[in-house]
Homo-oligomer: A and B are copies of this chain.
Amino acid sequence: MTAANAQGCGYPHMTSTPKPRYQQLKEQIISRISSGDLRPLDRVPSEHELVGSTGVSRMTANRALRELTDEGYVERVAGVGTFVADLKAASHLLEVRNIADEIQMRGHEHRASVIDLESRPVAPDIADLLHVSAGSRVNHVFLVHFENDIPIQVEDRYVTIDFATDFLDQNFQNVTPSAYLSLIAPLQEAEHVVRAKMPSARIRRLLKMRAKEPCLVVTRRTWVSARPVSFARLFHPGTRFELAGRYRPPGIANSHPQDSNIVELRNFDR
């Protein structure tokens, strides 16, 4: 490409300046990842190939891919190529990690016991949170997570019907609801609230908690394409669980580019 660019689109006097080309390239690649066209560990077109297919210069393609690297979408290896990153690392930066993964990372055994799995009319407060009309049906699962046969989390989750049509066919023994949801579509936005609360009698019994022991309650709401699709309440015994986070500002230490800022739920058994 030699000329007739820089303003792109060809139309003079467009209302607003068009997006920069490196940004267009980034969004094009992100959408290929989101749509499943490019899957984790798949090869992404090389800079040279992008030059050939889109007509940008190599520096522009390089900027697009470099920024996607910084943002965790892809990983690059000099001499080899560019590959779609495992989305876990990227999406769960500030996300409380999947409880099964946490347990496995501690070398323990995870087990889940499903108590309820149904579609049912939704309560008004939760209808509001999921942006559905009150009284309409939503999928619901209620289960207990065990670490080495000790109950550690009660999960009370609501998922919109149209997002997860085969929700009721899952058994959620091996694949947690959280993992199932991120299989269907990559999470695009998340909101958490952490509270300290005394458990109801039912929760207390399920978690085998002593009397007067508070719960650490995490509520999590996740979005896909600008719509809330899931709302979950996660209850943990307060004397055994804590939420830990670490923060280091970027730019200086290039040693652990991603791993650094994580929030995780820890079992500090005492």
Contact = CB atoms under 8 A, between A and B. Distances in A.
A194 B242 contact: yes
Contact of A242 (B95, B195, B250, B254): B195
Interface string A244-258: 111111111010000
B27 A261 contact: no
Contacts of A212: 198, 212
A91 B249 contact: yes
A194 B243 contact: yes
Interface in A29-50: 30
A28 to B, nearest CB: 12
A191 interface: yes
A118 interface: no
A192 B251 contact: no
Interface stretch (A64-72, A129-137, A156-164, A175-183): A64-72
Given A196-B215, A214-B198, A215-B196, A94 B251 contact: no
A93 interface: yes
Contacts of A27: 251-252
Interface residues of A, number: 50
A90 interface: yes
Contacts of A141: none
A216 interface: yes
Interface in A230-270: 236, 238-239, 241-252, 254, 261, 263
Contacts of A261: 94
A188 interface: yes
Interface in A1-46: 23, 26-27, 30
